[in-house]
Structure 1
């Protein structure tokens, strides 16, 4: 059960939670390797393998999410290349209705993302969802990714949330595990962050497909799916 009466603060991830992860997956796995190959005169397959190796080496670190880091490492204008496919940026179903419901219930709601500020601002510009949040926090502001306990200490110092009365929703199970270790009591995972990807089996955390399953209603509690 998810009892909204017991929740004072809501923390929401962005990519794969509020926004369709298809845009990011397409960029990093398909579009960027092609552009990298074109700019540097590489064989497309060779460029893709090289990028996959580089990206995997930094997975889970702040650098993995840092556009400045990749712009320097790859000698590319990453933000310009991101904008080439901005038409793929899209909200996941029921996102705005869910955010509106939280606002009506006067639940303090924070966007908490590993996205670099340049990419974050671009997505906020395209989607307009920034208006629903009390504040927008990038892990780059703290120098630690959400996978690190240092991030959660810094976030609590700034936001002042009570872990026992906080809901955190994310599509990344490593991030959810870090939040769980910190003591956040109400955790939800997104089953299908990429609309064109598989619907995942999630066993370590309660999981939902779309936000209509936990829509904030003044009548009280709603159910969440498990697995």
Structure 2
């Protein structure tokens, strides 16, 4: 699937790519509505509907990913609540082997994520994946979400890379579209970012279920 001789830099998303998206989906759809309902004396379905309505209005923007924004908007300590279910944080299958293989092949591996720094540091603390990464970049540090082509221009200024010799792996089709528009030559989408949800049919980009599908050619 990949000609690794043509790839120098590997850009990797975190949630839904390296880590199981179940943790985040469970937090926003189950845990947060439950805690919000308890704090505001409303039903869990009412709380869930409120959270969905508020998040849908900002989907794809930097605020959508900002834990501090949601702490202010919902009057709750979102970062602290994240830790209440940290036992659900998990690597996706074969992630550790894949990251080790990139290091052995002398590929430059960068984490590029929309995760807010507060949540990002927590997940790195739990998983330890930062030991295999050459650099970690949050969109909050660059001022633009990955859905915007401006993110990719800012990333190029911060961590120069050759788009023609770069592989980018993500589970978000809108993000992959922005990377394609910027000119990144090698793109891969994750079919099943959440282990508790069915795999998706992906036609817009080359797609894999797990990293073992490309480990064999490393």
Q: The TM-score by the shorter chain falls in which range?
A: over 0.9
Q: What are the superposed Cα offsets for residues 157-192 of structure 1, whole Å, 9 maximum, x if unpaired?
A: 111100010000000000000000000000000000
SS in 2 for 1:111: strand
Q: Is 1:175 matched up with 2:175?
A: yes
Structure 1 vs Structure 2 CA RMSD: 0.9
Structure 1 residue 44: deviation in Å?
Answer: 1.6
Query: Which residue is equivalent to 2:122?
Result: 122
**Alpha-carbon distance in structure 1 between the residues aligned to 2:43 and 2:217:** 54
Instruction: Map 1:84-163 to 2 at 5 A.
Output: 84-163=84-163
Deviation per CA, 1:62-101: give whole Å up to 9, x if none. 0000000000000001011111100000000100000000
Distance 1:14 1:216, change over 3 A: farther
Measured after TM superposition, the shift of residue 48 of structure 1 is 1.1
Match of 2:209 in 1: 209
- Judge conservation of contact 1:4–1:216 (CA < 8 Å) in 2: no
CA–CA distance in structure 2, aligned partners of residues 186 and 210 of structure 1: 17
* Distance (whole Å) between structure 1 residues aligned to residue 150 and residue 35 of structure 2: 35
Separation (CA, whole Å) in 1 of partners of 2:21 and 2:49: 21
In 1, the alpha carbon distance for the partners of 2:148 and 2:72 equals: 24
Q: 1:216 Cα shift?
A: 6.6
Once the two structures are superposed, residues 185-212 of structure 1 have per-residue CA deviations (whole angstroms, 9 ceiling, x without a partner) of: 0000000000010100000000000001
Preserved contact between residue 101 and residue 217 of structure 1 (Cα < 8 Å): no
Secondary structure of the structure 2 residue equivalent to 1:167: strand
TM-score (norm 1): 0.94
**How many residue pairs are counted as aligned between the two chains?**
218
Q: Is the 8 A contact 1:165 1:186 kept in 2?
A: yes
The answer for the alignment partner of 2:36 in structure 1 is 36
Contact 1:79–1:119 (CA under 8 A) maintained in structure 2: yes
Q: 1:102 touches 1:216 (CA, 8 Å); kept in 2?
A: no
Distance across 2 between alignment mates of 1:148 and 1:118:
22
Kindly indicate whether the alpha-carbon contact (under 8 Å) linking 1:101 and 1:216 is maintained by their aligned counterparts in 2: no
Deviation at 1:52, TM superposition (A): 0.7
> What is the alpha-carbon distance in structure 1 between the residues aligned to residue 79 and residue 138 of structure 2?
17
Cα deviations across residues 89-124 of structure 1 (Å, max 9, x unaligned)? 000010000000000011010000000000000000
Q: TM-score, normalised by structure 2?
A: 0.98
Residue 50 (structure 2) aligns with: 50
Confirm or deny: 8 A CA contact 1:111 1:136 kept in the other structure.
Answer: yes
Asked if structure 2 preserves the Cα contact closer than 8 Å seen for 1:11 and 1:167, the reply is yes
- Please list every run of 5 or more consecutive structure 2 residues that lacks an aligned counterpart in the other structure: none
